[in-house]
Structure 1
Amino acid sequence: MSALFGKSLPELTELAATLGQKPYRARQIFDALYKQRVTDFDAITPLSQELRSSLAAEHTVGLPEIVQTAVSVDGTERYLMRMEDGETVETVWMPDGDGVENTDDAEEAADNRADAKFVDKRNWGALAPLGYRRSTICISSQVGCAVNCQFCLTAKLGIKRDLTAGEIAGQVAAVLNRHKIQMGKDRINLVFMGMGEPFLNYDNFMKSVLLLVEGIGIPASRMTVSTSGIEPAIRRFAQETVRPNLALSLNGSNDKVREQVMPITRKWNIEKLLDAVNTIPLSKRDWVTFEYVMLGGINDQLSNAHEVLALLKGMHAKVNLIVWNPGPDMPYTQPTAEDVDVFQQTLIQNGLPCYIRRPRGRDIYAACGQLKRTVEPEKPADALVQLTA
């Protein structure tokens, strides 16, 4: 049995032909899978019962199954998603984002207000267009991760396998179905920032992007892909005609600091990565985001801020500061609030846009760097965690 979710329209057209069907049947199946997000072939009512039975005899719809849900005190939900072969990954739903997405019209409008510095960025939902819900889904691209960033819990899992395009896009469909999201009415952002390195699963990642754009109907401008820095893939990404926004995990102001926390720097240093990033064509409204996880006493000092300014000088870039999210047996500490503020203000005062990412779901291990395929209920001492099957 093979999954249909994940097949492109040309692939479905080929399948329809093998069943003696006209090409328009493939379009009906495509729309049912992605626009209607069906979970059962019987729901594809434009098809005859005979055709539905033929499909069901050899195929499954193939959406991942949500087998566990953790609910944070801030409304964030973390899902354990099970694939058809039994492997699991984690996916996160943030009902009002994390405060730093650059693809929401309301947020852009707020930033352009004369009194922008007084806008309460903890409540972007209040600024969204009337009748819209604005939410973000954080998606995984691999079962585990091979990059071995030292501050990340996912790195402790190692790598088991890549996810297919259907398994990547299927996480989105499963979450949209759970929350009964209506495309065109509800505003959805996607961040490929969950488990795995998307650019080490490049073909499946990009195919999932096309399925999400052409099938489900989420514009690429509302997607952001985060990479630890796979130089050849960044150059390949620059050639794509349909392309999400790019976020590069910088996390160090020089190669020595970055290599300490991201060993992949030994293969592709900062200079090589920035050179690759500069090949990406950007419009006046496009930015490249540099994510910077702040680790107390390691990369959070004023000298580091000045080094970041020097690195990104002249680039159409912005920086998202991420205060490190703790995890068990991790040899790091969080920076002080004063160090974070000084770092941010130093960048801003020197003309580099800089935002602080609001942690979402930290109490349920759903924040950046905390995903770890939790299969047993956990309750941190300082958190309220609700777990459901």
Structure 2
Amino acid sequence: MLNKIKPIDSGEQAAANPLFGMLPDEVKSLMESLGQKGYRANQIVEAIYRQRVTGIDEITVLPIGLRDELVQAGYGVGLPWIVQAARSVDGTERYLMRLRDGETVETVWMPDGDGGERGDGSEASAEEEAADGLEGNTSEFGEGAKRNLGNRDLRNVGALEQSGYRRATICISSQVGCAVNCQFCLTAKLGIKRNLTGGEIAGQVVAVLNRHGIKIGKDRINLVFMGMGEPFLNYDEFIRSVQLLVKQIGIPESRMTVSTSGIEPAIRKFAQEPLRPKLALSLNASNDTVREQVMPITRKWNIAQLLDAVSTLPLGKREWVTFEYVLLGGVNDQPEHAREVLDLLKGMRAKVNLIAWNPGPGIAYTQPKPEDVATFQKMLIDAGMPAYIRRPRGRDIYAACGQLKRTVDLPAADPLVEIAPAATPPA
């Protein structure tokens, strides 16, 4: 039986001028404009990013007069407001988050993740592999992951198991809707409404951290920019969110992965960033003909251009580039496609995440046969290409990869779903 999901306090979601999303220098300028000393900016930054307060009235180190002045000027913390939550039978939770202008996006919480980090050479990868095994890949990679992680960190993984999960992954949206129009994705049906601000992107994370009582530095949290939208079509605000999450909230970029459908100029720009999450390129086809059919953006930047852009990434000693590959029944999941993938990625420090397509209404594809998925993976592995099958999480509540669609019509009576009553935002 599912636990009831409690109503969620909206904090100051409706604030016209959100403080959350401002960089320290910007908060300092605001304080100076109000005739305040510089240390007040430090107090605000500490409160909204480290203490994760949801309302100005919670910043009790500020004088009441200053708090009132900020409110009267239209300032608030301004986190996204969780108005609906659905829980899957596998523990995944999908949140409908309302933004200050009334638009909504979806964010997903996956306890124990979905295996997406395995094999990319990061600490998150080592935790995944040490805890879960390789699920069909060669033991060489798994043992290497354990050596990379070290005994001390392995003990930390065990401690987390006692608290109910070993690690968790939060899947974040970067746009309201999406303009890329991938034919197998429900989000594509929404079109594009607008970009999110850096504060709205990072704010999704904080709203989920607060909901689950996560302690940064103690609990192991991974972030994936793989929700609604194309992060590289909202590049500057995506990078701003990374800066906030790393420098202010304290989540290292090594625990973040950004997925792109293939915006070639942005990939090259991303390669030059001093603060850079891991990259995952949504390949999803083994040749341009098939990729154009399922991902029309290929007409602008073909596979060869994308692979050339990816080759400019300065990889760390143990870092691998991830290629996401959604398997569509009878379209891109046959042995000849596997052979073409091997030819494409030959010589690259790459690993492939295979994703069995997650169905959605109105999309005319079929799921791949399990034996075709197994054959595809085996062909890659036998040729020396690390290949992993991503665990589908939250399919029953439309929370899996490609299923986010700003759902508002899930029936509360459904035994697989519990929906949180929408809290009323403060005046």
The TM-score range, normalised by the shorter chain, is: over 0.9
Q: Structure 1's 353 and 210: CA in aligned 2 closer, same or farther, altered over 3 A?
A: same
What is the one-letter code of the residue matched to 1:94?
Answer: M
Q: CA contact under 8 A between 1:300 and 1:343: conserved in structure 2?
A: yes
Matched, 1:94 2:110: yes
Q: CA contact under 8 A between 2:169 and 2:223: conserved in structure 1?
A: yes
In 2, Cα distance between the equivalents of 1:27 and 1:43?
15
Deviation at 1:24, TM superposition (A): 2.0
Q: CA contact under 8 A between 1:106 and 1:128: conserved in structure 2?
A: no
Q: CA contact under 8 A between 2:129 and 2:142: conserved in structure 1?
A: no
Aligned counterpart for 1:20 among listed residues 24, 28, 35 = 35
Q: Structure 1's 127 and 339: CA in aligned 2 closer, same or farther, altered over 3 A?
A: farther
Q: Structure 1's 151 and 113: CA in aligned 2 closer, same or farther, altered over 3 A?
A: closer
What is the one-letter code of the residue matched to 1:300?
Answer: D
In 1, Cα distance between the equivalents of 2:274 and 2:347?
25
Matched, 1:135 2:168: yes
Deviation at 1:20, TM superposition (A): 1.6
Aligned counterpart for 1:62 among listed residues 66, 69, 78 = 78
Aligned counterpart, 1:107: 128
Instruction: Classify the secondary structure of the residue corresponding to 2:79.
Output: coil
Instruction: Classify the secondary structure of the residue corresponding to 1:388.
Output: coil
Percent identical pairs in the alignment equals 69
Aligned counterpart, 2:163: none
Matched, 1:79 2:95: yes
Aligned counterpart for 1:211 among listed residues 244, 260, 276 = 244
Instruction: Classify the secondary structure of the residue corresponding to 1:221.
Output: helix
Deviation at 1:376, TM superposition (A): 1.7
Aligned counterpart, 1:225: 258
What is the one-letter code of the residue matched to 1:387?
Answer: I
Aligned pair count reads 381
Instruction: Classify the secondary structure of the residue corresponding to 1:155.
Output: helix
Q: Structure 1's 29 and 115: CA in aligned 2 closer, same or farther, altered over 3 A?
A: closer
Residues 317-356 of structure 1 deviation map (CA, whole Å, 9 limit, x = unaligned): 1000000000011110111111101110111111111000
In 2, Cα distance between the equivalents of 1:48 and 1:262?
54
Aligned counterpart for 1:326 among listed residues 348, 353, 359 = 359
What is the one-letter code of the residue matched to 2:21?
Answer: G
What is the one-letter code of the residue matched to 2:69?
Answer: S
What is the one-letter code of the residue matched to 1:212?
Answer: L
Q: CA contact under 8 A between 1:294 and 1:321: conserved in structure 2?
A: yes
Deviation at 1:44, TM superposition (A): 1.1
- Structure 2: 5+ residue stretches without partners: 1-15, 146-153, 161-165, 422-427
Aligned counterpart, 1:123: none
Q: Structure 1's 227 and 265: CA in aligned 2 closer, same or farther, altered over 3 A?
A: same
In 2, Cα distance between the equivalents of 1:127 and 1:116?
17
Instruction: Classify the secondary structure of the residue corresponding to 1:170.
Output: helix
TM-score normalised by structure 1 residue count: 0.94
What is the one-letter code of the residue matched to 2:55?
Answer: D
Larger relative CO (CA 8 A, sep 6+): 1 or 2?
Answer: 2
Deviation at 1:115, TM superposition (A): 10
What is the one-letter code of the residue matched to 2:106?
Answer: E
What is the one-letter code of the residue matched to 2:362?
Answer: D
Aligned counterpart, 2:53: 38
Instruction: Classify the secondary structure of the residue corresponding to 2:245.
Output: helix
Q: Bigger shift: 260-269 or 16-25?
A: 16-25
Q: CA contact under 8 A between 2:412 and 2:419: conserved in structure 1?
A: no
- Structure 1: 5+ residue stretches without partners: 120-125
Residues 239-295 of structure 1 deviation map (CA, whole Å, 9 limit, x = unaligned): 000000000000000000111100000000000000000011001211110000000
Instruction: Classify the secondary structure of the residue corresponding to 1:386.
Output: coil
Aligned counterpart, 1:52: 67
TM-score normalised by structure 2 residue count: 0.86
